[in-house]
Chain A
Amino acid sequence: MDKIQKPVLIIGGGMSGVTTAVEIAEVGKEVILIEKIPYLGGNVIKFNNYFPKLCPPTCGLEINFKRIKQNSRIKYYTSTEVIEVSGEKGDFKVKLKTTPQFIKNNCTACGKCAEVCPVERPNDFNYGFTKTKAAYLPHEMAFPYKFFIDDEFCKKESCNKCVEACEYNAIDLSAKEEITELEVSSVVVATGWKNYDASKIDNLNYAANNVITNVEFERYIASNGVGGDKLLRPSDNTEPKKIAFVQCAGSRDENHLPYCSAVCCTASLKHAINIQELYPKAEIKIFYIDMRVAGRNEDFLNKAKANKNIELVKGKVGKITETENNNLILEAEDILSGKKIKYEAEMAVLATGIVPSGLNINLNTDKDHFFTDLQPEGIIPVACSRKPMDVSTSVKDATAAALKAIQIN
């Protein structure tokens, strides 16, 4: 009864990991939250907005970041991965590896380091479509709000310009990887998802300049994204007036992902509506097999149907070819008319599905590599590590995971 309470480890600092962390901490338990990249927020932080209420991530996540800041029971470690889990429920031993960020927490995000930094790196926050300096702030609402140095691109001591520029002595280019060992009562696996690798779908020509995926499109349509307030297509930074969405890009396809990710249809409808708000005259075509929008998400379908510039075409795109001016010819059979369509779009968005990110710890998975609910007691997979789901369902799943975790001592 009076045994010292061990904390709960949460692997993954995305929407569900963060939610689980605050839910557990707010009922009085200690939490350790780890995230393998330098900032929290996972995939959702990169979104323009998310359904059903089209909240910008600066809303839902910012509240949670505030809850983390205010709660001393939550310790979070970014740039940190779990490398080993042993033991059993109530008494897990975990080994964590933290890769160096080279800038200490006394960074004030003044930005002097980036000003003097001579090296550029692809900006992973924008999926590499833009660049930052090797000393960079991931994005304007990064949590923790501080600069980082990209180990892969920084020239370290041979350059040293940022060290000289930093007024707070916050930069340590000799920082080393750290291994931490901890004892925890339970482990919540909130490792989340990535989108399917579109380059594997050879007939959809992802290599073409103006073919991008749905998650990349979030960065294109977001006002803090690639084109700022405008939607600019990759090849020539012009504003596309004809945009096509390719549903089930690799999904429901035994050659790629055999399952339906359940969110991509609503996501594309959301994107179409996003575009319409920005460019009411833009022509949008959504090529689909079935529009799978459940529950209140059907409002998006009705809204799209009511818009004369959004056309839903029943037929899967089987081929995309690039024209000389970097437009795209999408070919599909219009099932309702029985005729082949060749539609020329200025930009094409592939609605790729959800793939579990996975973890380097051996856990039970189903045939599609999602974690099953059947794990050693005390190990609790949550949200998209279990199966594809949208943000609001993930948040509910996170609350359920918190409820499971706090019962384990």
Chain B
Amino acid sequence: MIEVKPDIEFKKQLKQVSKSSLNECMQCGTCSVVCSLAPDDRPFPRKEMIWAGWGMKDKLIGNADIWLCHQCGDCTTYCPRGVNPSDVFSAVREISYQHYAKPKFLSKILNNPKWLPVALLIPIIIISAILYTAGTLQIPEGPVNYSKFFPHAWLNSSFSSLWFLTIGLGIVGLRNFWNDMKKQNPDLKPTGSFIKNLLSIRKEIILHSNFSSCSAQKTRKIAHLLVFYGFIMLLFVTAFAIYAAVTHNYPLGFLNPFKILGNVAAMMLIVGLGIMIANRILNKKDFGNSTYSDWLFLISLFLLTISGVIVEAARFLNWGLAYHLYFFHLICVWFIIIYLPYTKFGHLMFRVVAMVYAASVGRRLK
């Protein structure tokens, strides 16, 4: 016996986000066969499609398979009914960020365009308040020096602590997610520590091997690799910059190896994000339905990168608008780093946790 607990509100939301008719699925299972990742035992996405049609929220949220899908779109390409399983999966992921978000209102304002002004006002007000407290809320005189505008100690301490706060809240959500995954499969007992299982999937993460089997979208792997490594390199450069600001002379010179690394990383991000954005605009059939959350994340990361490069140039060229651009850049940083668990960037945490869970119960992708 299967206990069916339909959640009509959830189904409405799923329909709206995925733009899929859901119930036109006739359960033929073509999707599960053409999926190059689905395991032979209980493959996806056919079973999820009937749960979606029934509005079975508790079967879909907290389902590891939803996150094992890498959104290649083969199922959608071959679906005889046009119900776009890959878009349904991506919609369930989007709803999952909201479901596990703490506090919920942050997720709400970040997944609805009508709340965008509020999402923007929060960093504007908080950054201005910090600058006011630091006594630097004005455009400094003389050659461009961002630390005169936002002293390093204030910047690093305030952004880091806010980041630790939201990531901490994100981890609480992940714990609930982990428990839900366990609850869904009471007969599967996770074995091994989190770290040990994480290490067992390092190849998939480092090489993006799960992307390789996607036949519908060949450029995706390259684009994601560029963005993935570009972002990691920038994080590394940022960490060094914080260290340098404390111990060395800062800012770094133009030819400093870390500066060069940062600029290379920025280029990787621009190219990778450019491919992603172009694919979503030009190749709708294969890349599926793009939601507001997809665009918010892609565009804010793109603006973060572009504004970072411009802010750097503004410093060298002593532009008058440098501090305004810097302020804008900080808001982009906020959207990406501090809002991380509430936006699509959260996939970084959820996907890895789901992959670790799958590894811990021995559920291997093809």
A residues contacting B by CB (< 8 A) are 203, 248, 252-256, 289-290, 315-319, 331-335, 338-340, 342
Contact = CB atoms under 8 A, between A and B. Distances in A.
Contacts of B41: 338-340
Contacts of B78: 203, 255, 318
Contacts of B29: 315-316, 318, 332-335
A290 to B, nearest CB: 8
A338 B47 contact: yes
A253 B33 contact: no
Interface centre among B26, B28, B82 (most CB of A within 10 A): B28
Contact of A319 (B33, B40, B47): B33
Interface string B34-47: 10001111110011
B38 A340 contact: yes
Given A335-B46, A340-B32, A253 B80 contact: yes
Contacts of B43: 333, 338-340
A318 B27 contact: no
B189 interface: no
A331 B46 CA distance: 14
Contacts of B33: 316-319, 331-333, 340
Interface in B198-229: none
Interface in B51-105: 78, 80-82
B238 interface: no
Given A255-B80, A318-B29, A335-B27, A340 B40 contact: yes
Contacts of A317: 33
Given A252-B80, A333-B33, 5 more contacts: A203-B78, A316-B80, A333-B29, A339-B42, A340-B43
B30 interface: yes
26 contacts: A203-B78, A248-B28, A248-B80, A252-B28, A253-B80, A253-B81, A254-B80, A254-B81, A289-B27, A315-B28, A315-B29, A316-B29, A316-B80, A317-B33, A318-B30, A318-B33, A332-B33, A333-B32, A333-B33, A333-B46, A335-B29, A338-B42, A338-B47, A339-B40, A340-B32, A340-B43
A318 B26 contact: no
Nearest to B83: A254
Contacts of A289: 26-28
Contact of A316 (B30, B38, B47): B30
A65 B138 CA distance: 100
A248 B41 CA distance: 24
Contacts of A290: 26
A309 to B, nearest CB: 24
A331 B43 CA distance: 12
Contact of A254 (B32, B40, B42, B82): B82
Contacts of A339: 40-43
Contacts of B82: 254
Most buried by A among B27, B41, B82: B27
Contacts of A334: 29
A319 B26 CA distance: 18
B158 to A, nearest CB: 51
Nearest to A290: B26
A319 B34 contact: yes
Contacts of B28: 248, 252, 289, 315-316
A335 B27 CA distance: 8
Nearest to A255: B80
Contacts of A253: 80-81
- Which of A255, A289, A316 is the most central at the interface, judged by chain B CB atoms within 10 Å of its CB? A316
Contacts of B31: 318
B43 to A, nearest CB: 5
Contacts of B38: 340
Contacts of A316: 28-30, 33, 80
A334 B43 CA distance: 10
Contacts of A315: 28-29
A117 B27 CA distance: 55
Interface string B144-171: 0000000000000000000000000000
Nearest to B40: A340
A334 B33 CA distance: 10
Contacts of A203: 30, 34, 78
A221 to B, nearest CB: 27
A335 B50 CA distance: 11
A248 B82 CA distance: 16
Nearest to A202: B78
A11 to B, nearest CB: 33
Contacts of B81: 252-254
A248 B27 CA distance: 13
A339 B32 CA distance: 10
Contacts of B26: 252, 289-290
Contacts of A340: 32-33, 38-41, 43
Nearest to B41: A339
Nearest to B366: A340
A317 B80 CA distance: 12
Nearest to B27: A335
| Residue among A316, A318, A319 with most chain B CB within 10 A | A318
A335 B47 CA distance: 9
B51 to A, nearest CB: 12
A338 B43 CA distance: 7
Nearest to B80: A253
Nearest to A339: B41
A17 B324 CA distance: 81
Nearest to B26: A289
A177 B351 CA distance: 70
- Top 7 closest A-B pairs, CB basis? A318-B33, A333-B29, A253-B80, A316-B28, A333-B32, A340-B40, A318-B30
B216 to A, nearest CB: 12
A317 B27 CA distance: 12
A342 B27 CA distance: 18
A332 B78 CA distance: 13
Interface in B79-138: 80-82
A337 to B, nearest CB: 9
Contacts of A342: 40
Nearest to A338: B42
A254 B79 CA distance: 8
B42 to A, nearest CB: 5
Contacts of B47: 338
A253 B80 CA distance: 4
Contacts of B39: 340
In this complex, the member of B26, B27, B29, B81 whose beta carbon has the largest number of chain A beta carbons within 10 angstroms is B29
Interface in B1-37: 26-34
B154 to A, nearest CB: 56
A203 B80 CA distance: 12
Nearest to A333: B29
B83 to A, nearest CB: 10
